[in-house]
Chain A
Amino acid sequence: MNLVIRTVLVALGVGVVAAGCAGSQPSSGRLEVLDAWTRPTPATSGEAAIYFVVANGARTDDRLLGGQSASCMAVTVHETTIDDGISRMREATAEALTVPAGGRLALEPNGLHLMCTGLTAPLVAGDELSIVVGFTTAGRLEIPVRVEQR
């Protein structure tokens, strides 16, 4: 094969791989909410903690404000802290909810989570519920939340 063609093909290949690797950094140009999930709830409990990852591909910092759902009476952003074995849950501070431009914010077990109270019905594995998550710049995003046993 012609050396020039070979070089071009190699360069293309490298470019594709590099683009693939760059996919791990939020680069879509906008903020996205990924992998939203929650656990099944026992019949007696009216609360659920919702977890997800916010990937901010935009050029400006953003902040998670809160959420709303037809499945919950109220949704608040909470943070769990565990100190010396004692677990506490408090409303998350604004600082804790910042999503830097090009960065991520993870809501995960034993950390930040959206707390849904007054569930209209118990959540069963395999179900999906819908929530609207609000951000100062990105606005309101409607996202599906999968109910999974994790």
Chain B
Amino acid sequence: MSDATVSPAESERDVVPTRAAHRRVSRRRWLLVPVVVVAGVVVAVLAQRVMAPHLYSGTVLQAPETAPSTAGLRFADGTSFDVGASAGEVTVLFFGYTNCPDVCPTTLSVLRRAVDDLGGRADGVNVVFVSIDPERDSASVADAYAKSFDPRFSGVSGASEDVERVASLYGVYAAAGQADAGGFYTVDHTATLMGIDTSGHLRIVWPPEVTAEQLSADLDALLS
């Protein structure tokens, strides 16, 4: 047998590789810790998103009731607008008037962007502009106005007493101002957006200042 004793150089070589190998394994194991932590956080966030209910930007009504009847309001083609017949769709009602220079175009533009953001899901949303100024807005005028913002929108109107009744059922205030020399007048009115869900319940009310992003997210949740 050759010399049993190992020279210091050789013994070093035997020990060092083992320590290096041990360090390599330890480093890999250490790497697992942050990976596991990150994975854990990702799973937790995803789970929370999937399981947590959507937080609506609008005011969700505590005890949603069947949306009040819109009997008496008509589309441009003369057919009745019956909000109860839109089951399966989400209906957004906006009460305004076509001679409104600021709030109505602004709100309808926001609605247009919100519906656009829904992409294919926009098919399930029915936007109806209800005129609270039947003196100047016939159903054709209201409809042309609504469609000038988006061809998918509809406008409706009716006889004064029908418009007043529906407005009051929805808690919508409307008061015409003094006419100027040219006969032009503005109308103070409730400019909130009303959301009716797929089961025909008046479910949510959005303030006029709602953004397209907030509206789009809420509509998406209502469609689900």
Contacts and interface: CB of A to CB of B under 8 A. Distances in A.
Interface in B107-123: 109
Contact of B188 (A73, A74, A86, A149): A86
A76 to B, nearest CB: 9
Given A85-B192, A86-B173, A87-B191, A115 B101 contact: yes
A118 B182 contact: yes
Most chain A CB inside 10 Å of its own CB: which residue of B99, B105, B177: B105
A107 to B, nearest CB: 10
A146 interface: no
Contact of B190 (A85, A113, A115, A149): A85
Interface of B: 98-103, 105-106, 109, 141, 144-145, 148, 173, 177, 180, 182, 184, 186, 188-192, 205, 207-209
A117 B190 contact: no
Contacts of B207: 82, 85
Contacts of B190: 85-87
Given A45-B99, A85-B207, A39 B189 contact: no
Nearest to B173: A86
B146 to A, nearest CB: 9
A47 B103 CA distance: 13
A110 B208 contact: yes
B102 A110 contact: yes
B103 A87 contact: yes
A98 B101 CA distance: 23
Interface string A109-129: 110010111100000000000
Contact of A42 (B144, B177, B182, B188): B144
Contacts of B99: 45-47
A133 interface: no
Q: Which 7 A-B pairs have the closest CB atoms?
A: A109-B106, A42-B148, A87-B191, A49-B101, A85-B192, A47-B101, A87-B103
Nearest to A117: B184
Interface in A43-62: 43-49
Contact of B208 (A40, A82, A149): A82
B105 A88 contact: no
A66 to B, nearest CB: 14
A85 B172 CA distance: 9
Contacts of B141: 44
24 contacts: A39-B105, A43-B144, A44-B141, A44-B144, A45-B98, A45-B101, A45-B145, A46-B99, A47-B99, A49-B101, A49-B102, A82-B103, A82-B207, A85-B207, A86-B189, A86-B190, A87-B208, A89-B101, A113-B101, A113-B102, A115-B102, A117-B182, A117-B184, A149-B109
B144 to A, nearest CB: 6
A150 B212 CA distance: 12
Nearest to A149: B109
A109 B102 contact: yes
Contacts of A110: 102-103, 106, 208-209
Contacts of A80: 102-103
B209 A82 contact: yes
Given A42-B144, A150-B109, A48 B188 contact: no
Given A42-B98, A42-B148, A49 B208 contact: no
A17 B18 CA distance: 59
B148 A89 contact: no
Most A CB within 10 A of own CB, among B99, B173, B186, B189: B186
B35 to A, nearest CB: 42
